[in-house]
Amino acid sequence: MNHILDDLAGLLAWCAEHGQPGWRAEAISRWLLQRRVTSFTDMTDLPKGIRSALEDDFTIWSTKIAKHDTSMDGTEKLLLELSDSQRIECVLLREQDRRTVCISSQVGCAMGCVFCASGLDGVIRNLTTGEILEQLLRLALLLPETERISHIVVMGMGEPLANLDRLLPALARAQSADGLGISQRRITISTVGLPQAMDRLTSDNSGYQLAVSLHAADDTLRTRLVPVNSSIGVAEVLAAADRYWEASGRRLTFEYVLLGSVNDSPEHARKLVRLLGKRAALVNVIPYNPVMGLPFREPSKGAVEGFLDVLQSHGMNVQVRKRKGSRIDAACGQLRRLAAGSPVPPKAAEALQSFT
């Protein structure tokens, strides 16, 4: 059975084969993405024969909800089980009039950032376009009918730029008028910083917000924290980010996870200021969200304040990422591991000793 969300473009041909006009494909897409129906039967303005033909050929859902947590601040987190029993996480965040969803792009992650729960077992596979879209639908269904998803951040499990072929068609649907109608400027893709893929976005003239995970201002420390940096280097990452900025006009965001006593001193902050120089960038400072079994700590309150002071006194735009839904949070990727009963693999724990 085909997952309809994985080939919405193919619906046009399907409609032709079933003697239906082309606009039906658009109507079906609207039913799914805008009117949030959960079955073909509910597509009440389609001829009955077409509804049952759709039912014969397609399934709407490829995932099951394995866990659904809600926290006091309104944050909801879903652990979804995919058709091959792999699990991914996605989150709905409520903030004033914003309804932001955070979605995953891969099962696991190959980037190996040493403080992150998502990559502890490496990458298992890319998510399909349908699986990426389905996260949006599952989260949209948590909202009352009067509310819509306003923002998307691709900051869940995985490295989105390592799966652009499947991510971009999903985001195109998220934007389109017969999709979710969310403008590109409200969609943020977070990347570890893969220059080739960043250049692809640049030459596509894409207008997504790009957030680059820097976490350190020099190659020695960055390579320890973000191992893929060893073959790329901070200078290349920044050059690719600059090219994106020039082409898109979108303000760049640099993410910086503050790890207690690792990269959180005023000197680290000064290095970051020197590195970013006059760029009109936003620095998104993220106090570490501890991962069970990993030897990293949250930064102290004083360290966070000291770090911010340095950035702000140099006129940088800074935003501290508030932790949302911390009780259910279990840093991204952790929920999946906990549910699977697997804490830190011994090898990773060993490799990390140097940080303690």
- Residues noted as catalytic: 89, 332
**32 vs 240 by CB, closer to ligand SAH:** 240
In angstroms, give the least distance from the CB of 291 to ligand SAH: 5
Number of residues that bind ligand SAH (CB under 6 A): 18
Provide the token pair at 139: 């989260």
Q: Tell me how far apart the alpha carbons of residues 128 and 197 are, in angstroms, rounded to a whole number.
A: 18
According to CB under 6 A, which one of 91, 237, 286, 316 is a site residue for ligand SAH? 286
DSSP 8-class letter at 231: G
Q: Tell me how far apart the alpha carbons of residues 153 and 91 are, in angstroms, rounded to a whole number.
A: 10
In angstroms, give the least distance from the CB of 332 to ligand SAH: 6
**3 vs 77 by CB, closer to ligand SAH:** 77
According to CB under 6 A, which one of 139, 291, 308, 330 is a site residue for ligand SAH? 291
- 159 touches ligand SAH by CB under 6 A: yes
Q: Tell me how far apart the alpha carbons of residues 90 and 104 are, in angstroms, rounded to a whole number.
A: 6
- 116 touches ligand SAH by CB under 6 A: yes
Provide the token pair at 294: 């990993």
Binders of ligand SAH in range 72-111 (CB under 6 A): 111
Provide the token pair at 55: 């039912």
Binders of ligand SAH in range 174-203 (CB under 6 A): 190-192
Binders of ligand SAH in range 53-72 (CB under 6 A): none
Which is nearest to 73 in space by CA: 92, 59, 86, 90?
A: 92
Q: Tell me how far apart the alpha carbons of residues 228 and 244 are, in angstroms, rounded to a whole number.
A: 20
**18 vs 186 by CB, closer to ligand SAH:** 186
Which is nearest to 188 in space by CA: 125, 248, 113, 138?
A: 248
Q: Report phi then psi at 351, rounded to 5.
A: -60, -25
**43 vs 114 by CB, closer to ligand SAH:** 114
- 331 touches ligand SAH by CB under 6 A: yes
Binders of ligand SAH in range 10-29 (CB under 6 A): none
According to CB under 6 A, which one of 289, 310, 324, 325 is a site residue for ligand SAH? 289
CB atoms within 10 A of CB 90: 23
Query: Under the phi-then-psi rule, with left for phi > 0, alpha for psi from -120 to 50, and beta for the rest, what region is 9?
Result: alpha
Task: Fill in the per-residue mask, 251 to 280: x = in contact with ligand SAH (CB under 6 A), - = not in contact.
Answer: ----x-x-----------------------
Q: Tokens 């259910």 appear where?
A: 328
- 131 touches ligand SAH by CB under 6 A: no
Q: Report phi then psi at 271, rounded to 5.
A: -60, -40
Q: Tell me how far apart the alpha carbons of residues 56 and 344 are, in angstroms, rounded to a whole number.
A: 43
**54 vs 162 by CB, closer to ligand SAH:** 162
**32 vs 237 by CB, closer to ligand SAH:** 237
Residues that bind ligand SAH (CB under 6 A): 111, 113, 115-116, 155, 159, 190-192, 213, 255, 257, 286, 288-289, 291, 331-332
